[in-house]
Amino acid sequence: MTTYSAPVTDMQFVQRELSGLEEIATLPGFEEASPELVETVLEEAAKLAGEVLTPLNRVGDTEGARVEGDEVLLPDGFGDAYNELADGGWLSLVHNPEFGGQGLPQLVSMAVEEMWNSANLSLSLCPLLTKGAIEAIEAHASGALKDAYLPKLISGEWSATMNLTEPQAGSDLAAVRTEATREGDHYRIRGQKIYITWGEHGLTGNIIHLVLARLPDAPPGVGGISLFLVPKFLPNADGTPGERNDLKVVSIEHKLGIHASPTCVMSFGESDGAVGYLVGEENRGLACMFTMMNDARIGVGLQGLALCERAYQQAVIYAKDRVQGNLPGERERVSIIKHADVRRMLMLMKAQTEACRAVAYASAAASDFFKHHADEETRARHRARWELLTPIVKGWCTEVSQEVTSLGIQIHGGMGFVEETGAAQYYRDARITTIYEGTTGIQAGDLVGRKVMRDGGEGMQTMLAEIRSIAEQGGFGWEEALSGAVDQLEEATRWLLANGGDDLHAPGAASFNYLMLAGTVVGGWQMARSAIAAQRCLTAGNENEAFYQAKIATARFYADHLLPRSGAYLAAATVGSASTMALADEQF
């Protein structure tokens, strides 16, 4: 019951019918992204996910990673699987051809990345961090650093990490204490970082750490943080790994999930100081790191979606196979998928998974447009949409994964609570997605503070207008529910803008419920668009009639069972902060 079959049909439907793949393929640099090429990429990626990565998922969970001396040892098979990804060019899909990438749209790469995450979340975390580091280096590093590091990172020959958190700092990066001192053309880095995903391993010939540190004369707070590239091995003149840098793994964490992903405590500069190279400008490191962090936020939201898909697939298989009970008025025992309550849970899983996919892929499409469109105004519009969707993808999709993976266990009944079925692993793995790369509260605060209140709600109002135009299209039965949900999100937005400045605690008290309201409504919008597109395909006589009919039915279920949650989110988001802040600290 631990098999995985990539939902290629649904991925292609979302890409073509909802996310504008055909138009993206006309953008400068994307001309080769034809439907035929994309179909081939997805089909081959699906084979690799199912045949190579999926069998290692359970192995990784049970064996885990471990430290021996200064080395991290991984479960059997992980090295060979990573090499298949790298040797097959799978890690270079989206990157700049100037440095060896294939230059395909993010919308295409996202579908492939979803497959890796569904098949084996622990292993997929390694290329996820490398991908974000590549974005940061390309955007901010010197030409010399780009030439020296990007080709090997893009090929997968080397990997990369993100080093932000410290024991005393957590998410408060203003408290970072790692030190950097100038020394000629480089810097010496000294300090300790925690929760460093894939901070040490033997999969690649070198590991490139992007490290936040503070110069001796830096101003206090986040305005005094710089970003440094710190390689595990200092490259020789010919680019091969040379002398070992002054850094090491101290330990790895024993975690609830993602057991095969080594989460490391890293020590820099216990002897002479680790050699590091400045990325961007001194004291401007956080702005540089945000390039990597934003990429990772979308990537983690994608992980939430991927685990929803994996849990749903296993729950369907089990529900069809498990015989228990009988239907009202009948004597014959039936598979539990016949029972209405099991179907309710399966539909909750299916509807939310498909909604998350559509929302996540919409963010990828926005990224492609704002990075590659020729028109400046169009780029700005899509960038604003991408920025608005980023905390929703990260926050909402990962919160949804908590519910969906939990429902997967519930459908299994007692067997879901038994590790051997595999259902519990998805639930355990999903739990971290609401925490790393910024907790749900941080995403909600970003959405409310930076993305809604900062521009007076302009970006949100633009999106609400688009949702209304879809809600006005009749004939499906979900129009009233979607229209009402849009009204509720608009009301919550108005309330925030009116009250967020007077009550200092109001934005924080409202932010989680506002995020969940926004995600629920945006998900409903995408499901409505799915139904309209599916009907269009049916009318045109496209094959796979059952798939399109299921799309329409699933959209209706979303409207009936999930959009009503918007009312509760609205009420909680607009009640104010009085009851939230009522107790004194000692009363807890």
Q: What is the pLDDT of residues 509-553, one digit of tens each?
A: 999 999 999 999 999 999 999 999 999 999 999 999 999 999 999
Please tell me the pTM assigned to this model: 0.97
Look at residue 388 in the predicted model and tell me its pLDDT: 98
* CB of 218 closer than 8 Å to CB of 283: yes
* CB of 436 closer than 8 Å to CB of 344: no
Q: What is the 3-state secondary structure (H, E, C) of 146-209?
A: HHHHHHHHHHCCCEEEEECCCCCCCCCHHHCCCEEEEECCEEEEEEEEEEEECCCCCCCCCEEE
What does each C-alpha distance from 321 to 54, 317, 550 come to in angstroms? 21, 6, 21
For residue 236, give both structure tokens: 């020789």
Q: What H or E segment, with its residue span, contains residue 134?
A: helix 121-140
Q: Using CB atoms within 10 A of its CB, is residue 153 exposed (0-12), middle (13-18) or buried (19+)?
A: buried
CA distance 90 to 112: 8
Q: List the domain boundaries for the chain.
A: 8-155, 159-283, 439-576
Q: Mention the CATH class of domain 159-283.
A: mainly beta
* CB of 482 closer than 8 Å to CB of 467: yes
Look at residue 421 in the predicted model and tell me its pLDDT: 95
Look at residue 538 in the predicted model and tell me its pLDDT: 97
Catalytic status, residue 437 = yes
Residue 157 has pLDDT above 70, yes or no: yes
CA triplet 172, 300, 302: central angle to 5 degrees?
Answer: 155
Residues 41-45, mean pLDDT to the nearest whole number: 98
Residue of 138, 354, 387, 437 with catalytic role: 437
Question: 321-348 as b/e, with b when 16 or more CB fall inside 10 Å?
Answer: ebeeeeeeeeeeeeebbbbeebeebbbb
What does each C-alpha distance from 312 to 12, 34, 45, 58, 390 come to in angstroms? 19, 30, 20, 17, 24
Superfamily of structural domain 8-155: Acyl-CoA dehydrogenase/oxidase, N-terminal domain (1.10.540.10)
Look at residue 263 in the predicted model and tell me its pLDDT: 98
Residue 10 has pLDDT above 80, yes or no: yes
Look at residue 475 in the predicted model and tell me its pLDDT: 83
Look at residue 271 in the predicted model and tell me its pLDDT: 97
CA distance 314 to 77: 23
CA distance 562 to 404: 13
Residues 420-425, mean pLDDT to the nearest whole number: 96
* CB of 178 closer than 8 Å to CB of 192: yes
| Closest by Cα among 256, 509, 292 to 402 | 256
* Residue-wise pLDDT tens digits, 490-511: 999 999 999 988 889 999 999 9
Look at residue 309 in the predicted model and tell me its pLDDT: 98
pLDDT band at 104 (very low <50, low <70, confident <90, very high): very high
Look at residue 533 in the predicted model and tell me its pLDDT: 97
